[in-house]
Amino acid sequence: MRSDDGMVYLSNAFNLSMLPPGSDAEVRVTPVTVERAREILSGGFVSAIWRDEVIAVVSDYLGIPVPARRLSVMLRNGDTLVVAQYSGPKLEDGETELPPGAKIMFYTVSVRFCKEDKK
């Protein structure tokens, strides 16, 4: 889904492979509250989470449905990636709620690509 500035994605991780190969970019990672994450996602988003247990736990924590989708995200200028970073014991098959001692931290990732120097 598009925000005013670009696409909005939800993932459980950020990886450098989400940037075009060889790109010169400034990456900004900002911690956000679950409420802010929910607000960003409320306008629509593309899910890049595919593991059932992670989807169930993140969906329960956010209070919104998260569709399963195995997707390779390629970030562009103006895109927002919301990362739901799970920390805790391994999620067991069929797990649908955050287990004791586990937590989910939310971050937004935005990228600004630098202009190439013409030599």
When pLDDT is cut at 50, 70 and 90, the band that residue 117 belongs to is very low
SS3 content of the chain, % helix, strand, coil (to 5): 20, 30, 50
Summary mean pLDDT of the chain:
87
**pLDDT value, residue 116:** 53
The pTM of the full predicted model, rounded to 2 decimals, is: 0.85
When pLDDT is cut at 50, 70 and 90, the band that residue 118 belongs to is very low
Domain 8-113 homologous superfamily, CATH = Uncharacterised protein PF08960, DUF1874 (3.40.50.11170)
What angle, 0 to 180 degrees and rounded to 10, lies between the N-to-C axes of helices 34-41 and 52-62? Answer: 100
| Cα gap 20→42, rounded to integer Å | 27
When pLDDT is cut at 50, 70 and 90, the band that residue 4 belongs to is low
Ramachandran quadrant class, 30 (left: phi over 0; alpha: psi -120 to 50; beta: rest)? beta
